[in-house]
């Protein structure tokens, strides 16, 4: 199935070090510390197929997502990009009737091993959603530490430390440090989204998945979140699904283009946009469809 | 007026007699206005019909009962038949114990049952439970009394039977009235909790049961409490299930394995009594019962008011506020509630 599909051939499957070396040379990521070849690929997805009942949502997707960089997934609505993102932390399992085949490894460990608890996977692979969703019953501070507290952390000093660290990393500390006892939903939309990012990174995941994190934000808030991603990739591997190709060019070190459930092309962002190898990619990025 | 929408632009020249789009004859316009007013008036009438009985009942109870309410009424036991004075303190305390026991059993069962069908169960099992609860909500309360009587009061009714009338049997009969009621109201508000909160918590690696209790249930807590309150108010006035179970008692006896008095039972006994002073006290007891429900309602709403003040407008949709208002209105007749929107 995959062999006669030209789309998957183009994917730099087993050439992860090659990808990372190209990443390092890529000007947009010059701030990035050189990625050592050993931890180059954080997420290694192979022949991933996802079905919703009869619907084949993701078809034979194989790609290696480099560590400590931003990887964007673009494509028209319904192309399977969100579905693929959600299978990276096993969130798709919550959809009734969802099935997945293939393997996804996080730093070498199979996330779909029968012995692996999906709860633990989600602690290692955090997620930020399209619509900011701070818990309405909690204060700003409680929202940030909720992941730790509900996982049994009681140590007040430790929680306080993580709270400040996460808010600083989310570039929100200066704005809210005197309002930690105010409700999380009293913040503005952009601040709420950064609060959700702080909440996700407070549990110190290895990977941060972002599902159209700025589509509900105004341009100024969007710029802040994008700037933040640039900072966060020093510590985290970021995978972002976006509808905006401009956003992909601004934030992503490499970009994957999905179409009709298939991974059409995966390349360093500049290469994908300036010099796409696939006709479908070119048609999409030049606005001929989608 | 001159906002530039199609209807208000100057009409183009048309042949006389032709009806232009958006313009109707005077007669038709009057007819439409009449229909609109008619429907609004009909709805207003129905709304008034909802409120009127409560106002009437409350007013009548005050007129008939307030004269008999004094300190003795709340502190003294009944006096022998035919004598005047005395009070119903045993029935007031008995009511609190019975309702407390019933709530202790009924509320957690109903609420946790609702959590199961919204957070865990498959669609089919959830619909079976929902259907069963709807059927049970239609069961007349006297049937629950008879069920509790057969199982817990009749000497050989079941291995759990005490063999005599008891407060336990009464409380369980009330609890079984509460369970389907609480289950359905809780389910409604739990379903209003946006899935985004569940997903956000899942993505933090939080265990399912903690999401169900600490996130979902907490987010919906106001609505769940309102449903619980509605159920408590509903059983506070139940008499039939207690006739066969708690039976009643005219002395100071509050062992839960023994017969126990309750306000509804006392009202029933006094209302059919031939002694005028007892009839008078029945009115007073009814007024006290109504006020108790009212105080409980207002008190709990005050206790569970928003602790986290929000910027106006930031909380677009208040969870449960609709259910809240509806439930409270059902209990208090809307006379004492400030509708929140």
Domains in chain B and their CATH numbers?
Answer: 71-304 (1.10.3720.10)
- A1, pLDDT greater than 80: no
- A83, pLDDT greater than 80: yes
- A25, pLDDT greater than 50: no
Interior CA angle at A74 toward A72 and A79, to 5°?
Answer: 135
- B105, pLDDT greater than 50: yes
- B210, pLDDT greater than 80: yes
Put simply, the answer to whether A186 touches B200 (Cβ < 8 Å) is no
For B215, the closest chain A residue by CA position comes to A135
Sign of CA dihedral A6, A12, A13, A15: positive
CA distance A71 to chain B (A): 19
Selecting from A182, A183, A200 the residue whose C-beta is nearest the C-beta of B203 gives A200
Burial A260-276 (b: 16+ CB within 10 A, else e): ebbbbbbbbbbebbeeb
For A90, the closest chain B residue by CA position comes to B203
Instruction: Count how many residues are written for chain A.
Output: 290
Mean pLDDT of chain B, nearest integer: 84
- Distances in whole angstroms, Cα of residue A159 to Cα of each of A164, A203, A258, B155: 9, 10, 40, 59
Q: Both tokens of residue B150?
A: 């057969």
Instruction: Count how many residues are written for chain B.
Output: 341
Put simply, the answer to whether A127 touches B203 (Cβ < 8 Å) is yes
Q: Are B151 and B173 in contact (CB under 8 A)?
A: no
Choose, out of A150, A181, A200, A206, the residue to mutate when testing the contact with B (most B CBs < 10 Å).
Answer: A150
The arithmetic mean of pLDDT across residues B294-305, rounded, is: 81
Sign of CA dihedral A57, A63, A68, A72: negative
Find chain B residues with C-beta within 8 A of A111's C-beta: none
pLDDT tens, residue by residue, B55-81: 999 999 999 999 888 898 898 888 888
Selecting from B214, B221, B310 the residue whose C-beta is nearest the C-beta of A150 gives B214
Choose, out of B204, B222, B313, the residue to mutate when testing the contact with A (most A CBs < 10 Å).
Answer: B204
Confidence of residue A70 (pLDDT cuts 50, 70, 90): very high
- B4, pLDDT greater than 50: no
Q: Is A189 on the interface with B (CB under 8 A)?
A: no
For B207, the closest chain A residue by CA position comes to A119
For B308, the closest chain A residue by CA position comes to A183
Find chain B residues with C-beta within 8 A of A209's C-beta: 203
Put simply, the answer to whether B310 touches A122 (Cβ < 8 Å) is no
- B127, pLDDT greater than 90: yes
DSSP A183: B
- B303, pLDDT greater than 90: no
Find chain B residues with C-beta within 8 A of A196's C-beta: 200
Confidence of residue B317 (pLDDT cuts 50, 70, 90): very low
> Can you tell me the distance from the alpha carbon of B176 to that of B141, in angstroms, rounded to the nearest whole number?
9
- A97, pLDDT greater than 70: yes
Count residue pairs from A and B with Cβ separation < 8 A: 84
Put simply, the answer to whether B202 touches A91 (Cβ < 8 Å) is yes
Selecting from A89, A133, A137 the residue whose C-beta is nearest the C-beta of B196 gives A133
Put simply, the answer to whether B203 touches A126 (Cβ < 8 Å) is yes
Q: What is the pLDDT of residue A51?
A: 94
Q: Which H or E run contains A78?
A: none
For B199, the closest chain A residue by CA position comes to A91
Find chain A residues with C-beta within 8 A of B123's C-beta: 96
Q: What is the pLDDT of residue B306?
A: 65
Selecting from B200, B205, B221 the residue whose C-beta is nearest the C-beta of A133 gives B200
DSSP A37: G
Q: What is the pLDDT of residue A53?
A: 87
Find chain B residues with C-beta within 8 A of A199's C-beta: 200, 204
Rg (CA), chain A: 19
The DSSP bridge partners found for residue A70 are A238
Find chain A residues with C-beta within 8 A of B319's C-beta: 136
For A95, the closest chain B residue by CA position comes to B199
pTM reported for the whole predicted model? 0.77
pLDDT tens, residue by residue, A223-258: 999 999 999 999 999 999 999 999 999 999 999 999
The arithmetic mean of pLDDT across residues A40-69, rounded, is: 92
Find chain A residues with C-beta within 8 A of B309's C-beta: 183
For B306, the closest chain A residue by CA position comes to A137
Phi-psi region of B82 (alpha: psi -120 to 50; beta: other; left: phi over 0): left
CA distance A41 to chain B (A): 22
Percentage of residues in chain B with pLDDT exceeding 90? 58
- B175, pLDDT greater than 60: yes
Q: Both tokens of residue B56?
A: 């009437």
Q: Is A127 on the interface with B (CB under 8 A)?
A: yes
- A32, pLDDT greater than 60: no
Q: Both tokens of residue B132?
A: 């069963």
Find chain B residues with C-beta within 8 A of A94's C-beta: 199, 202
ipTM beyond 0.95? no
Mean pLDDT of chain A, nearest integer: 85
> Can you tell me the distance from the alpha carbon of B35 to that of B315, in angstroms, rounded to the nearest whole number?
37
The residue written with tokens 């966060």 in the block is A232
Find chain A residues with C-beta within 8 A of B199's C-beta: 91, 94, 127, 129, 133
**Which segment of A3-17, A234-248, B93-107 scores lowest on mean pLDDT?**
A3-17
Selecting from A147, A185, A209 the residue whose C-beta is nearest the C-beta of B315 gives A185
- B201, pLDDT greater than 50: yes
- Angle between helix A219-232 and helix A189-202 axes, rounded to 10 deg: 20
* Residues of chain B with a CB closer than 8 angstroms to some CB in chain A: 122-123, 194, 196-197, 199-208, 210, 214-215, 218-219, 221, 308-311, 314-315, 319
Residues with Cβ < 8 Å from B154, sequence gap 6 or more?
A: B161, B163
- The helix/strand/coil state of A47 is strand
Helix then strand then coil, % of chain A, to nearest 5:
40, 25, 35
Put simply, the answer to whether B310 touches A185 (Cβ < 8 Å) is yes
Confidence of residue A137 (pLDDT cuts 50, 70, 90): very high
The DSSP bridge partners found for residue B260 are B247
Q: Both tokens of residue B295?
A: 């105080």
Find chain A residues with C-beta within 8 A of B218's C-beta: 137
Selecting from A133, A137, A151 the residue whose C-beta is nearest the C-beta of B206 gives A151
For A210, the closest chain B residue by CA position comes to B203
- The torsion angles phi and psi of A77, rounded to 5 degrees, stand at -55, 140
Q: What is the pLDDT of residue A236?
A: 93
pLDDT top residue among B300 and B244: B244
For A94, the closest chain B residue by CA position comes to B199
């Amino acid at each position: 199935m995959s062999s006669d599909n030209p789309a998957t051939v183009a994917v730099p499957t087993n050439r992860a070090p090659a990808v990372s070396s190209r990443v390092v040379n890529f000007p947009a990521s010059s701030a990035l510390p050189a990625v050592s070849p050993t931890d180059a690929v954080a997420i290694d997805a192979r022949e991933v197929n996802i079905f919703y009942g009869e619907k084949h949502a993701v078809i034979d997707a194989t790609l290696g997502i480099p560590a400590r960089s931003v990887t964007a997934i673009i494509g028209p609505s319904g192309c399977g990009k969100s579905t693929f993102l959600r299978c990276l932390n096993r969130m798709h399992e919550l959809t009734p009737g969802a099935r997945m085949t293939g393997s996804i490894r996080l730093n070498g460990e199979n996330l779909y091993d029968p012995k692996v608890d999906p709860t633990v996977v989600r602690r290692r692979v955090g997620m930020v959603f399209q619509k900011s969703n701070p818990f309405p019953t909690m204060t700003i501070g409680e929202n940030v530490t909720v992941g730790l507290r509900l996982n049994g952390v009681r140590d007040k000093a430790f929680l306080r430390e993580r709270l400040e660290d996460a808010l600083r990393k989310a570039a929100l500390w200066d704005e809210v440090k005197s309002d930690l006892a105010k409700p999380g939903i009293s913040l503005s939309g952009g601040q709420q989204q950064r609060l959700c990012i702080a909440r996700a990174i407070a549990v110190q995941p290895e990977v941060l998945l972002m599902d159209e994190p700025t589509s509900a934000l105004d341009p100024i808030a969007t710029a802040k979140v994008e700037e933040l991603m640039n900072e966060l990739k020093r510590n985290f591997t970021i995978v972002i699904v976006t509808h905006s190709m401009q956003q992909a060019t601004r934030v992503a070190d490499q970009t994957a283009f999905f179409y009709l459930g298939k991974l059409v092309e995966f390349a360093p962002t500049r290469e994908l946009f300036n010099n796409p190898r696939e006709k479908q990619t070119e048609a999409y990025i030049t606005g001929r469809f989608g | 007026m001159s906002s530039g929408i199609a209807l208000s632009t100057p009409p183009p020249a048309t042949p006389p007699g032709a009806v232009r789009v958006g313009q109707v004859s005077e007669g038709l316009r009057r007819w439409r206005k009449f229909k609109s007013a008619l429907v609004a008036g009909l709805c207003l009438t129905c709304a008034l019909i909802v409120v009127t009985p409560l106002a009437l009942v409350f007013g009548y109870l005050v007129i008939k009962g307030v004269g008999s309410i004094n300190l003795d009424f709340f502190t003294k036991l009944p006096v022998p038949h035919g004598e005047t004075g005395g009070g119903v303190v045993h029935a007031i305390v008995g009511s609190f114990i019975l309702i407390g026991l019933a709530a202790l059993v009924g509320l957690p069962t109903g609420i946790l049952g609702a959590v199961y069908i919204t957070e865990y169960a498959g669609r089919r099992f959830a619909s079976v439970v929902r259907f069963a609860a709807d059927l049970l909500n239609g069961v007349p309360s006297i049937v629950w009394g008879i069920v509790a009587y057969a199982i817990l009061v009749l000497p050989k009714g079941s291995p759990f039977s005490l063999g005599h009338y008891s407060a336990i049997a009464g409380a369980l009969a009330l609890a079984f009235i509460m369970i389907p009621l609480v289950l359905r109201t809780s389910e409604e508000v739990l379903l209003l909790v946006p899935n985004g909160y569940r997903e956000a918590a899942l993505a933090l690696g939080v265990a399912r049961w903690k999401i169900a209790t600490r996130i979902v249930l907490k987010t919906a807590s106001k609505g769940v409490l309102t449903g619980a309150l509605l159920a408590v108010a509903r059983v506070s006035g139940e008499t039939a299930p207690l006739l066969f179970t708690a039976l009643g008692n005219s002395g100071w006896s509050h062992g839960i394995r023994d017969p126990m008095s309750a306000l509804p039972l006392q009202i029933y006994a006094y209302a059919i009594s031939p002694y005028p002073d007892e009839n008078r006290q029945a009115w007073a007891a009814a007024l006290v019962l109504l006020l108790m429900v009212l105080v409980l309602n207002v008190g709990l709403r005050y206790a569970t008011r928003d602790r986290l003040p929000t910027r106006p407008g930031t909380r677009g949709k208040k969870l449960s506020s609709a259910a809240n208002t509806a439930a409270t209105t059902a209990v208090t007749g809307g006379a004492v509630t400030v509708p929140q929107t």
